[in-house]
């Protein structure tokens, strides 16, 4: 089994302890995780996102290398667009927001690009859970995504806005509670099917708990 295949196997098993051990032993892990962001299997791509977040948190010396490679793939001129780059950068920022908060503004600036929109919305929700102040300025743009044609974009916008109670979005979220359109959500290492309506209802509940409709 080659190195990348071994890393892929760890991700499929969600063997985070094994990934940490490998991180300490072989720095090729960063390159393997970057390549696995393009894997044909969705759960592998998503767990590679989690893996890069772990690398950034556990080994700050690798942080600059990881971020540099990811930012390069956000650029059309790179010749290899990083479809999962916003998610990976969002996870890295959520793991250590004080260290890389300047990078996240670059991620949010990609929200208007359709190819990155769903990834940016996922990242916005992930970071808003730990540092909502890094996301609030993009709140109006995120709220506009509640009208997006993509169910995933609408559902992920709901998730983010549930964690941004100071952003005006109550009426739009209320209307989406009857939206039965399905989408997939990655959280806690797993992909699960949801509906936009479920995401909207959860967002409303979070906002109510924070004292905001």
What's the rounded mean pLDDT across residues 177-188?
97
Residues 6+ apart with CB under 8 A from 104: 89, 90, 93, 97, 123, 127, 134, 135
Token couple for 110: 């990609």
Using the Cα atoms of residue 33, residue 38, residue 43 and residue 46 in order, give the sign of their dihedral: positive
The model carries a pTM of 0.94
Q: What is the pLDDT of residue 96?
A: 84
pLDDT band at 59 (very low <50, low <70, confident <90, very high): confident
pLDDT in tens, 99-147: 778 889 999 999 999 999 999 999 999 999 999 999 999 999 999 999 9
| Domains, the chain | 1-95 (no CATH), 111-213 (1.25.10.10)
Question: What average pLDDT does the structure give for the chain?
Answer: 92
């Amino acid at each position: 089994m080659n190195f990348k295949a071994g890393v892929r196997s760890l991700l499929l098993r969600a063997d985070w302890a094994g990934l940490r051990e490998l991180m300490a032993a072989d720095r090729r892990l960063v390159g393997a995780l970057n390549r696995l962001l393009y894997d044909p299997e969705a759960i592998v791509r998503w767990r590679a996102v989690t893996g890069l977040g772990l690398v950034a948190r556990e080994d700050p010396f690798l942080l600059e290398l990881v971020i540099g490679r990811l930012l390069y793939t956000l650029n059309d001129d790179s010749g290899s667009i990083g479809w999962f780059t916003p998610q990976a950068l969002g996870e890295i920022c959520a793991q250590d927001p004080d260290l890389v908060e300047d990078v996240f503004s670059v991620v949010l600036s990609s929200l208007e690009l359709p190819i990155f929109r769903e990834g940016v919305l996922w990242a916005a929700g992930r970071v808003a859970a730990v540092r909502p102040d890094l996301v609030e300025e993009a709140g109006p743009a995120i709220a506009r995504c509640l009208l997006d044609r993509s169910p995933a974009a609408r559902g992920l916008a709901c998730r983010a806005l549930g964690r941004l109670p100071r952003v005006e979005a109550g009426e739009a979220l209320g209307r989406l509670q009857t939206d039965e359109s399905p989408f997939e959500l990655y959280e806690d290492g797993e992909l699960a099917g949801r509906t936009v309506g479920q995401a909207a209802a959860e967002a409303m509940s979070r906002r109510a708990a924070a004292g905001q409709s």
